[in-house]
Every structure is written in structure tokens, then in C-alpha cells.
Amino acid sequence: MNEVSPNTAAIDSPPSRVGLIAGWGDFPITVAKTLQEAGVEVYGALLHGHADPKLEQYCKAVQWSGVARFGGKIRFFNRHRVAHVTMAGKLFKTVMFRRFAWLHHLPDWHFLRYFYHHFITNRARRNDDELMLTVVKLYQDAGIHMAAATDFAPQLLIGPGQLTGSVLKESEWNDIAYGWQLAKEMGRLDIGQTVAVHRGVALAVEAVEGTDACIERAGQLCRRGGFTLVKVAKPQQDMRFDVPTIGLQTLQNVHAAGGRVIAFEAHKTIVLNQEDVIKFAQKHRMVLIAVTDAQVEQIKVRVAS
């Protein structure tokens, strides 16, 4: 793969206009609203089958298109003199395994040029990092800079500390440390970023099917409930894409599956609708805690002593 410029530091002052490539979920709406409130014109490239139509009210102009219609998105941004874009929202990766999956996304020649070996010859891998870095390269070659969405909405990244719930038991801290170790290794291998643990046993790990399926499987395997969900950033995390995210739906799913604790990486996890998330956790006596590497190392030392 050709070289791609590394992720940049947070933007002190956003440009006057920003392009938003929007997938599924509340995150794109939060980013668009934050930019609009800062006086930035938002130009939305909204992905069919993913983006919420409500995004249109926060954008100066929008274009709906298939995921793989890159040429149209580039022309849309060039037409509106947009030089900085960001990606926000989830892409449903399971569609990659449908028959003729790449045709499902209405590919154009830009897609074929950059993703030929990923989807036609199968000589290149389709893991998250490979695909998304190729997307960044495609826009970079078109003269468009890709920024992290959290550069424009840094308040979505939570600092360390326990947000809700009772004091954790030692066994729960041990589950967090064990889950952290597993999830970091999964992230290093670009498999997933989430693991469910109960009493030192890995119940379920996240792969291409996503976090919700991981939570559901944990609930099916741990009927007694009380498991811990751990979500971390990859050791090589590029904040421009695939940043771990927690929202109200995550908590609802964990509660429905019988989970009690959600631990996530401080400063590197997006928490959407924070007020609603905290209220839900408090109502259902769930523990919501942002953890650091240093805390996990301290737990390991306690366990070893």
C-alpha cells in the first residue's frame, strides 16, 4: 500500500467548511450539530442504507450515494470547495460476505482503482485498517485532507474515572484487567475491540459482526448475568476511523443480556448522548467506568502479588 499521512493532532480552529462522510448511528448527527454550532458549514456525503435523514437539517448541502461511489463524493466536495473531511458513523461490515458484495455498494472506477485487489483479486486483506487507510489514501490523492471526527467534537472522549455504579469488587477489577489484555491483543491483530468476561472467562469476543452481537452472545452463554464488557482502542488506533464508541443502545443491550459492568478506555472512547447514558446506567445500577493502561497495570501487580 502507498504511504498515507499519519493522523494529525486535534484541530485548534476548524476550517470554515467541513465535509462529513456519514454512516449509521447518532455519532454523525452529533458531529454535524457540533460543527454547525461552531459556525462551520457542513457538507454531507450521506451513505445509502446507513445515514440518518435527520442529518440533512444540519448540512449546508447533502449528497446521498452508495458506499463505494467515491468519484461522486469527491466531485461533491470539490464543487463546494471542501478541502477537509471527516468520517463518522458505523458501516455494516457483514455485507462484505454477501455474494458479489462489492456490487451491492454500487462501485465506480475510483473504487475499482483503489480496491481492485481487496475485492476482485483478493490479494489484499479486507480488515478494517487496510480498508480505511485505503479510503484515506484515495481522498488524500484527490487533495482532500481526512481529519478525526473527535478533532471537531473532543468532548465526546471521556477522561478516566467511574461515571456510575457501586464500588467494584476485586473480581470485577480482575475481569476488567483480563478483558483489557484480550481486547488489546484483538485490536493489535485488527479483529475487534470488545470482549465480554465473567469470573476470568472470556464469554464472547467481537469480530466482524460487531459489538451488539458480542453482547447478545455473552448473555446467551452467561444466563446468571453479571458479566463485564470491556471496550478499548487498538494499540495502533488511528483516530480518523473505527474509534470505539458507546451509546445508549450499548447500555440497553448489555442490560438486556444481564451484564453489569462496562469498562472502556479513557481518552480514546466516544461516549454518545452522555447524559442519557449516565441516567440509564444509574437507573439500572450498572457500573460505567473509564480506565487507563496505568490502572490495568496496577491491577496486574495486585493479582501477581
Question: What pLDDT score was predicted for residue 242?
Answer: 87
Question: What pLDDT score was predicted for residue 1?
Answer: 40
- Which of 115, 126, 139, 149 shows the shortest CA–CA distance to 25? 149
Q: Give the model confidence (pLDDT) of 150-175 as tens digits.
A: 998 898 999 999 999 999 999 999 99
Secondary structure (DSSP) of the chain = ----PPPPPPPSS--SEEEEEE-BSSHHHHHHHHHHHTT-EEEEEEETTTS-GGGGGG-SEEEEE-TT-HHHHHHHHHHTT--EEEEESB--GGGGGSTTHHHHT---HHHHHHHHHHHTS--S--SHHHHHHHHHHHHHHTT-EEE-HHHH-GGGBPPSEEEESSPPPHHHHHHHHHHHHHHHHHHHTTS-SEEEEETTEEEEE--TT-HHHHHHHHHHH-TT---EEEE---TT--TTS---EE-HHHHHHHHHHT--EEEEETTS-EE-SHHHHHHHHHHTT-EEEEE-HHHHHHHHHHHH-
- The amino acid at residue 156 is L
Question: What pLDDT score was predicted for residue 153?
Answer: 86
- Which of 27, 14, 4 shows the shortest CA–CA distance to 132? 4
**Domain boundaries 157-304, corresponding CATH code:** 3.40.140.80
Per the DSSP assignment, residues forming a β-bridge with 19 are 43, 85
Question: What pLDDT score was predicted for residue 95?
Answer: 58
Question: What pLDDT score was predicted for residue 211?
Answer: 94
- Which of 140, 151, 137 shows the shortest CA–CA distance to 270? 151
Question: What pLDDT score was predicted for residue 181?
Answer: 96
Extents of the domains making up the chain: 17-152, 157-304
Fold of 17-152: Rossmann fold (3.40.50)
Intervals of the chain under pLDDT 50? 1-2, 5-10
pTM: 0.85
